[in-house]
Amino acid sequence: QVQLVESGGGLVQAGGSLRLSCTASGRTFSSNAMGWFRQAPGKEREFVAAINGNNENTFYTKSLKGRFTVSRDNAKNTVYLQMNSLKPEDTAVYYCAAGKSSSYLGDYNYWGQGTQVTVSS
């Protein structure tokens, strides 16, 4: 069983930055790929970024690559999402998830509770 807790969300002006963190319980953190997803009001949850267990491969939804960066520190059981040049359309609840390295929600077995990111114009 893996429990995930996100933090770092908040209110930021357009053009600003935030770094989200997701800390996992359990000793199998490094064996799991970690993904970030987001869900805006009235919209489906969508893939943002993912990183595999050994930190060698990352991938992003095309529209966000260049502004968002995913990383992880296996010694701290933590995955990060650095978000730069934020736009109002980035406003959403951001979730981290553990599972298979994929952009598909169904490949992730464990989910955090989400952290709200609000970008004002």
Is residue 30 over pLDDT 90?
no
Measured CA to CA, the distance from residue 119 to residue 84 in angstroms comes to 11
Is residue 27 over pLDDT 90?
no
Measured CA to CA, the distance from residue 88 to residue 55 in angstroms comes to 30
Residues 6+ apart with CB under 8 A from 87: 14, 119
Q: Stretch 53-82: mean pLDDT, rounded?
A: 92
Q: Stretch 91-105: mean pLDDT, rounded?
A: 96
Q: pLDDT value at position 55?
A: 75
Measured CA to CA, the distance from residue 69 to residue 49 in angstroms comes to 8
Phi, psi for residue 31 in degrees, rounded to 5? -85, -10
More confidently predicted of 21 and 2: 21
Q: pLDDT value at position 88?
A: 97
Measured CA to CA, the distance from residue 45 to residue 104 in angstroms comes to 10
